[in-house]
Structure 1
């Protein structure tokens, strides 16, 4: 089979059967193209484990890949060759025998309550150009802080996903296509109400909850990162949407919310992913330690 034909078939398989995101599918194909270009072949069965290993080692040395980047690139190639093996285009996956490097166990960066208060304050007083921009940006920052949503989850929220009567948000396009419900905090509720009132004044209607200022479509990740950078610069507290997610999780643990409930609210697949917030929760540790009878 011609390599280009294989890429075309893989793309459809990834998007329609495996439901891999378009972005990830594109990265898989890009990584595989680079491998074949490096080895200078168009023949699937010509690729050996030694070829792939040498290629990954070389790129790690040239590009100074981190262990995570190495793992990601290895996984991209493995996913493509798994597809080829399943369809009998090759007899074995040349990536399977290449080990994944261990990732360093680093703790996520957390924002303190004082830092969050500064971020909220400067979100409120920032000189946004339009009233709608001000109310919208305020609502999205509060949503990150009070729901712990991932950036992509927030971008894909639709009007129908926000139930103000039941005070809950349905996250339908979570990581791994998981669906979950997040209660709307009382503070967030009033902020969202203000945004919805302002939103009704628009001359157009978008199906997405957080809409663009000038066109009836959802916001982009680039726009939200720009908003965070502007507030970071004004407040002196650097943060990203994911930092706000970490802050939400840590606050829950500090307040004694059970780890299983935190897992469900964050949309984690495994409890082991959520446990990191327990290990770094100083407030929770302090509360527990103060009640321990040492003598």
Structure 2
């Protein structure tokens, strides 16, 4: 059965929405398939059954030559595989005829990504905590003092949660008031729409109470009713991850985090994983805490581990060093 590439893409994206895939997943797939379809059109390929393995390989090479990383190009290949999987399920093409089975993954470079050190984490936490002691001076029109207090308490709580739980930034910003108590934090509909529970340390819960008090003072004084999310903007709306990333970047720069370190919320996840490895926590437990579907993803996180201590251990027990 012949079906145009555009029709197949349109159907698959609608099917993805009907299946409840995340908005970000659908946006990425739509963007990727648009680029892929334009590439095929330029080669006068308009129907699904006209696509050959060589066309997909040429597209992947084209992306690499455009400066895309191996990881990003494999992401494109994953989307193309999803398209053909949909076409096979809908019987637009037979399994044995699908060209995607004869296209291999691109080998990715196993790069080591350094993360924060303990001292850098301490500096960022100390900096944000110190700002929570801001004295409320102006309480007139606009309640500027209350707003500053609220923002500083929010930033400190967010850093504590990211450091202590390793959760994704979008998971943290999606937390509702009922998702946290004095012993645990319930992450609802995390990546892959999977719920999980992480611990809530006394330090985190204590700051949560302080933040709620500052939050209530600010919003009640301005007659604003915020949404049920824990983290909100000064207008009572959901705190966007872009704003959080910008704030964390400013904090990192303020305490002079090394230039070689990416100052972002995700780096806290790498730090969390590294810290647990240092404490000899089982890798499968780390996988559960991070919410990874595959242990291979966790292993990638552990590749970012700074292995200086491990190298020192090897030197200590070096056969040559211990020869009599």
Whether the TM-score (by the shorter chain) exceeds 0.5 is: yes
C-alpha distance in structure 1 between counterparts of 2:89 and 2:269, whole Å: 38
Gaps of 5+ in 1: none
* Paired position in structure 2 for 1:212: 233
Residue of structure 2 aligned with 1:44, choices 41, 48, 68: 48
State the match for 2:57 in structure 1. Answer: 53
Report the alpha carbon displacement of residue 287 of structure 1 after superposing the two structures with TM.
8.5
User: Aligned match of 2:281 in 257, 270, 278?
Assistant: 257
Equivalences, count: 290
Q: What is the TM-score when the length of structure 2 is the normalising length?
A: 0.79
2:137 matched residue in structure 1: none
1:163-222 CA distance string (max 9 Å, x none):
23xx10011222222221111112212111111222333221312221122143x21111
- Residue number in structure 1 paired with 2:14: 12
Partner of 1:108: 113
Structure 1 vs Structure 2 CA RMSD: 2.9
2:172 to 154, 157, 161: 154
Deviation at 1:144, TM superposition (A): 0.4
> Any idea what the Cα deviations from partners look like across 1:130-161, whole Å, max 9, x if unmatched?
21111111111111011111112112212221
Q: Select the structure of larger CA radius of gyration.
A: 2
Q: Distance between the aligned counterparts of 1:23 and 1:178, measured in 2?
A: 16
2:198 aligned counterpart, secondary structure? strand
TM-score by length of 1: 0.86
Instruction: Confirm whether residue 175 of structure 1 aligns to residue 191 of structure 2.
Output: yes
The answer as to whether partners of 2:74 and 2:106 remain within 8 angstroms in 1 is yes
**Residue number in structure 1 paired with 2:139:** none
1:233 to 253, 256, 275: 253
Runs of 4+ deviating beyond 6 Å: 284-291
Seen in structure 2, the aligned counterparts of structure 1 residues 120 and 168 have a Cα distance that, compared at 3 Å, is same
Q: Secondary structure at the match of 1:38?
A: helix
